[in-house]
């Protein structure tokens, strides 16, 4: 099994939050993962994506073609629908439109389902649950994994996000008649997630680095932060 998911939208739409939640879920299931981000040098606007590759064997890079495309805006559908595999599917907000392959797209009312769960701000959590529903995964035992990312905002917010996740999952399971993934998680233990910057920082620490000087600018800020957090 080897599936690539691309989450696309404007900067500030929560693309990274969705990607990181997916990584947390899939690593908990025991999958091998590889992810990367593509973004413009701006705080808002533009069109960026976060891509996650999940597999039942080690993977060391991203792929150009994708099986699932989550479009948070219309521009994402326009730019990257062409990168879908022949059996690939698009997931998008009900108010948006797929560009050409309407038969290969699932439109989900992210915002209205989020409001049903408690607040419109949970729309991205609905979208994440919808992705799991399209893939055919069971979400049994995932409540604590999903809620853990929101506990710092309070137990009530964490519970509402889990409800939003469930609503998105159930909607996609029910409505995506063309979804034929139905993937069973591998019989592996939970896996650790390590970013490229963390790997560089740990390599430096274990090699005996004593001094590091840098200007805090993306994409290398994570190296500085990790070294500072583990300074002796």
Residue 183: inside a domain: no
132 plus 203 within the same structural domain: no
Q: Indicate whether 137 and 220 sit together in one domain.
A: no
CATH number, domain of 35, equals 3.40.920.10
Q: Nearest 5 degrees, angle CA 69-CA 62-CA 189?
A: 95
Q: How far apart are CA 46 and CA 43, in angstroms?
A: 9
Whether residue 75 lies inside any domain: the answer is yes
- Number of domains the chain contains: 2
pLDDT digits (tens, 9 = 90+) for 186-200: 766 677 888 888 899
Q: Which pLDDT band, with edges at 50, 70 and 90, does 138 fall under?
A: confident
For residue 160, pLDDT over 90 is answered with yes
Q: Give the least confident one: 9-13, 51-55, 105-109.
A: 9-13
For residues 77 and 144, membership in a common domain is answered with yes
Q: Are residues 14 and 117 in the same domain?
A: yes
- Residue pLDDT, tens place only, 70-102: 999 888 888 898 999 998 999 998 877 766 555
**What is the extent of the structural domain holding 139?**
2-175
Query: Are the C-beta atoms of 169 and 139 separated by less than 8 Å?
Result: yes
């Amino acid at each position: 099994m080897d599936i690539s998911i691309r989450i696309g939208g404007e900067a500030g739409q929560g693309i990274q939050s969705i990607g990181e939640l997916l990584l947390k879920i899939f690593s908990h299931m025991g999958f091998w993962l590889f992810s990367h981000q593509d973004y413009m040098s701006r705080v808002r606007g533009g069109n960026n994506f976060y891509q996650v590759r999940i597999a039942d064997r080690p993977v060391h890079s991203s792929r150009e073609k994708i099986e699932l495309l989550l479009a948070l805006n219309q521009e994402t559908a326009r730019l990257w629908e062409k990168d879908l595999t022949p059996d690939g599917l698009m997931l998008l907000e009900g108010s948006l439109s797929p560009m050409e392959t309407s038969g290969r797209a699932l439109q989900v009312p992210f915002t209205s389902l989020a409001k049903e769960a408690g607040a419109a701000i949970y729309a991205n959590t609905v979208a994440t649950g919808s992705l799991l529903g399209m893939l055919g995964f069971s979400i049994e035992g995932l409540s604590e994994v999903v809620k853990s990312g929101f506990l710092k905002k309070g137990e009530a917010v964490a519970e509402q996000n889990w409800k939003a996740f469930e609503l998105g999952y159930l909607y996609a399971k029910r409505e995506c008649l063309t979804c034929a993934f139905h993937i069973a998680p591998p019989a592996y233990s939970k896996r650790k997630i390590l970013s490229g910057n963390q790997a560089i920082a740990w390599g430096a620490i274990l090699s005996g680095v004593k001094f590091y000087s840098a200007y805090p600018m993306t994409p290398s800020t994570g190296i500085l932060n990790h070294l500072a957090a583990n300074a002796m």
